[in-house]
């Protein structure tokens, strides 16, 4: 099994109006984006070419929105998975860049 292109733990994954997990994982591996619970169960996954993601102008710096299989998820990527709500834009920027890189490879 190869090394994931991107992996972030401690991610809050929400599907409006409710939170699905407060300590989930976002992983990009082998051309697929996977959203996982804190226990490793899959919430949703899709090939990166079928995923739309970005950071809306109204989102906080540590947030991104991803549309996976037609479902919109709000991802709050806390720095180091600390969960204190004071993440930085670097982690969400790394996620968006990794998603674009993986999509170009396919």
Q: Which of 8-17, 23-32, 35-44, 83-92 has the lowest mean pLDDT?
A: 83-92
Query: Is 1 part of a structural domain of the chain?
Result: no
Q: State the pLDDT at residue 22.
A: 94
Q: Is 84 helix (H, G, I), strand (E, B) or coil?
A: coil
Find the CATH number of the domain harbouring 93: 2.30.29.30
- Of the candidates 34, 86, 39, the residue with the CA atom closest to the CA atom of residue 60: 86
Work out how many domains the chain is built from and give that number.
Answer: 1
DSSP per-residue string spanning 3-24: PPSEEEEEEEEEETTEEEEEEE
Query: pLDDT at residue 18 above 60?
Result: yes
Each residue's pLDDT tens digit, 31-55: 999 999 999 999 999 999 999 999 9
Query: Is 83 part of a structural domain of the chain?
Result: yes
Provide mean pLDDT across the span 63-71.
96
Q: Report the share of the chain in percent with pLDDT over 90.
A: 72
> Strand order of the sheet with strand 18-29?
42-47, 32-36, 18-29, 6-15, 71-77, 63-68, 52-54
**Distance of alpha carbon 102 from alpha carbon 106, whole angstroms:** 7
Boundaries of domain holding 38? 6-105
């Amino acid at each position: 099994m190869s090394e994931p292109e991107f992996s972030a733990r401690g991610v809050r994954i929400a599907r409006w109006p409710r939170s699905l997990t407060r300590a989930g994982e976002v992983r990009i591996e082998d051309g697929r984006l996977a959203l996982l619970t804190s226990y490793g169960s899959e919430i949703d996954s899709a090939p990166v070419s079928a995923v739309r993601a970005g950071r809306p102008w109204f989102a906080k710096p540590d947030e991104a929105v991803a549309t996976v299989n037609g479902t919109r998820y709000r991802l709050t990527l806390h720095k180091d998975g600390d969960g204190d709500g004071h993440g930085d834009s670097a982690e969400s920027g790394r996620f968006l860049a990794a998603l674009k890189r993986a999509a170009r490879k396919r």
